[in-house]
């Protein structure tokens, strides 16, 4: 039965405190391993900051954050959807997997969230363990880039599974049984489609990056030259592509068409544009610098790094094509937000060898300030949020 739900200021404040505590844990881990002499390491490093223990603690904190914390309106939005689906005979506004959980699990919104975002964060943990990076850098990057957004849309579960599949696919040829490893990677990628209808589009972009000749500067230059033409024909071209990609999936095609024809638009005042600039400028700087070094200066990086970076760039490119066009603004924002996933996992690897780079560090400082602004705003707007979701 549907009823009104709200969050308290204390709930949001505790969520913000946990976010900062996780940042502090990463900072302390980095300080410890930068300053302690090897011969004293075992004596001076506390239980919580030993590498394996640190990762387990971050996993548990991440699951708690994603399950219980409220740092966005989607927390209440999904509670309402969950409540609507409890007594429904068919899924309402979300995929069959989430409806199955709603009908199967004991009636508890938090238990349902655990089986969606808690499990999604567990896959983040598995991804980090599969990357050539340091856990402290990896978790700090994830917290600054994604954590606040990650715990809001349900597509997070599908996207992290897709990234995990990409990582397995790039490493398949070096495994003991490459054919089996490739099949398992493709199965993981295919499995991600059950968690959100838009996963087909993301998979298409991800697989595009495996085509020889894509991950280089010539493709970037060609894409930039074609942008004016594509920009003015984006709605027609997108519908053609959607018909091709989703020809065998009526539900995904219907949802994509709904997004394209939606009258959702974004209008921003001066402060709104300032917020967009503050939120996105650090990512733009990082993408520009790393793309220039990797694709134009041919800095030596792994194939996985190139793939993840190009994946992020293409999603940002698509976001720009949708931005300000005669088409739902939802798609532009969604593509930009999704681009942060591959960008975050790329940065986890790349930053390990570039941590002393001043521009990268300054960009992370700006990200910290940006997150601080957003979190303070969430505390300030609790009453407005409750009023919006009240009956």
Cβ neighbours of residue 67 under 8 Å, at least 6 residues apart? 110, 113, 114, 117, 118
Q: How far is the C-alpha of 121 from the C-alpha of 63, rounded, in Å?
A: 6
State the pLDDT at residue 255: 57
* Residue among 74, 65, 60 at smallest CA distance from 11: 65
Q: Which two tokens stand for residue 256?
A: 């994509």
Residue that wins the pLDDT comparison between 385 and 53: 53
**Across 257-279, average pLDDT:** 62
pLDDT at 367: 92
Answer yes or no: is pLDDT of 286 > 70: yes
Contact status, residue 330 vs residue 264, Cβ threshold 8 Å: yes
CA angle 47, 58, 9 (to 5 degrees): 120
pLDDT tens per residue across span 331-343? 788 899 999 999 9
- 383 pLDDT band, cuts 50/70/90, is confident
Beta-strand runs (E) in the chain:
none
Res 240 pLDDT > 60: no
Residue pLDDT, tens place only, 145-170: 999 999 988 999 999 999 999 999 99
Contact partners, residue 238, CB within 8 Å, separation at least 6: 260, 327
Q: Is 104 exposed, middle or buried (0-12, 13-18, 19+ CB in 10 A)?
A: exposed
pLDDT of 44 strictly over 60: no
Closest CA to 307 of 148, 171, 108: 171
Q: What mean pLDDT is predicted for residues 301-307? A: 93
* pLDDT attached to residue 263: 46
Residue 378 or 316, more confident:
316
Q: What integer best gives the mean pLDDT of the chain?
A: 83
Q: Nearest CA to 246 among 193, 322, 183, 319?
A: 193
Enter the tokens of residue 184. Answer: 């398992």
204-232: per-residue pLDDT in tens? 999 999 998 888 999 999 999 998 888 77
Residue that wins the pLDDT comparison between 133 and 176: 133
What is the reported pLDDT for 23? 92
Residue with tokens 């698509």, as numbered in its chain:
318
Q: What is the DSSP letter of 309?
A: H
- Cα gap 299→193, rounded to integer Å: 34
**Does 130 score more than 60 pLDDT?**
yes
Lowest mean pLDDT among 14-23, 67-76, 340-349: 67-76
pLDDT at residue 239 in the model: 56
Q: In the prediction, which pLDDT does 379 show?
A: 87
User: SS3 for 61?
Assistant: helix
- Number of helical (H) and strand (E) elements in the chain, helices listed first: 20, 0
Higher pLDDT pick, 330 / 181: 181
d(CA 245, CA 164): 22
Per-residue confidence band for 7, with pLDDT thresholds at 50, 70 and 90: confident
Provide the whole-model pTM. Answer: 0.88
Q: What is the pLDDT of residue 384?
A: 79
- What per-residue string of b and e applies to 184-195 under the rule 16 or more CB within 10 Å gives b? bbeebbeebbbb
Which pLDDT band holds residue 2 (cuts at 50, 70, 90)?
A: very low
The pLDDT assigned to 94 comes to 85
Would you say residue 189 has pLDDT above 90? Answer: yes
The percentage of residues in the chain with a pLDDT greater than 90, rounded to a whole number, is 45
- Token look-up 């075992």 returns 42
Segment among 119-123, 181-185, 200-204, 237-241 with least mean pLDDT: 237-241
Q: How confident is the model at residue 9 (pLDDT cuts 50, 70, 90)?
A: confident
Q: What percent of the chain has pLDDT over 70?
A: 82
Q: Is 37 exposed, middle or buried (0-12, 13-18, 19+ CB in 10 A)?
A: exposed
Q: What local confidence, expressed as pLDDT, does residue 88 receive?
A: 85
Q: Could you tell me which residue, 347 or 331, shows the higher pLDDT?
A: 347
Q: At residue 178, does pLDDT exceed 60?
A: yes
Calpha distance 386→79 (Å, rounded): 12
Q: Is residue 200 scored above 60 in pLDDT?
A: yes
């Amino acid at each position: 039965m549907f009823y009104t739900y709200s969050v308290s200021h204390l709930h949001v404040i505790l969520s913000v405190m946990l976010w900062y505590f996780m940042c502090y844990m990463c900072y302390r881990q980095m300080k410890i391993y930068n300053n302690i002499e090897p011969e004293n390491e075992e004596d001076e490093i506390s239980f919580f900051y030993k590498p394996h223990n640190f990762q387990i603690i971050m996993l548990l904190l991440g699951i708690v954050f994603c399950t219980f914390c409220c740092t966005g309106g989607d927390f209440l939005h999904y509670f309402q959807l969950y409540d609507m689906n409890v007594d429904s005979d068919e899924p309402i506004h979300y995929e069959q997997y989430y409806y199955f959980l709603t009908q199967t699990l004991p009636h508890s919104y938090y238990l349902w969230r655990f089986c969606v975002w808690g499990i999604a964060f567990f896959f983040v943990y598995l991804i980090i363990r599969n990357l050539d990076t340091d856990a402290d850098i990896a978790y700090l990057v994830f917290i600054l880039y994604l954590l606040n957004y990650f715990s809001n849309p349900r597509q997070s579960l599908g996207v992290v599974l897709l990234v995990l599949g990409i990582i397995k696919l790039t490493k398949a040829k070096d495994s003991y049984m490459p054919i089996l490893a490739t099949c398992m990677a493709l199965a993981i990628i295919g499995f991600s489609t059950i968690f959100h209808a838009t996963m087909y589009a993301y998979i298409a972009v991800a697989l595009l990056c495996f085509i020889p000749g894509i991950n280089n500067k010539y493709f970037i230059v060609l894409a930039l030259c074609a942008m004016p033409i594509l920009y003015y024909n984006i709605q027609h071209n997108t519908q053609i592509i959607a018909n091709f990609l989703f020809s065998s999936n009526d539900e995904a095609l219907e949802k994509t068409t709904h997004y394209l024809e939606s009258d959702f638009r974004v209008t921003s005042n001066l402060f709104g544009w300032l917020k967009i600039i503050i939120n996105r400028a650090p990512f733009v700087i990082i993408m520009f610098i790393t793309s220039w070094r990797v694709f134009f200066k041919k800095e030596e990086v792994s194939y996985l790094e190139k793939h993840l970076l190009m994946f992020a760039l293409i999603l940002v490119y698509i976001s720009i094509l949708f931005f300000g066009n005669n088409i739902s603004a939802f798609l532009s924002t969604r593509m930009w937000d999704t681009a942060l996933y591959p960008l975050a996992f790329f940065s986890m690897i790349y930053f390990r060898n570039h941590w002393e780079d001043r521009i990268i560090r300054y960009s992370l400082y700006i990200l910290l300030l940006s997150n601080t602004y957003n979190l303070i705003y969430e505390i300030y707007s609790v009453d407005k949020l409750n009023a919006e979701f009240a009956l």
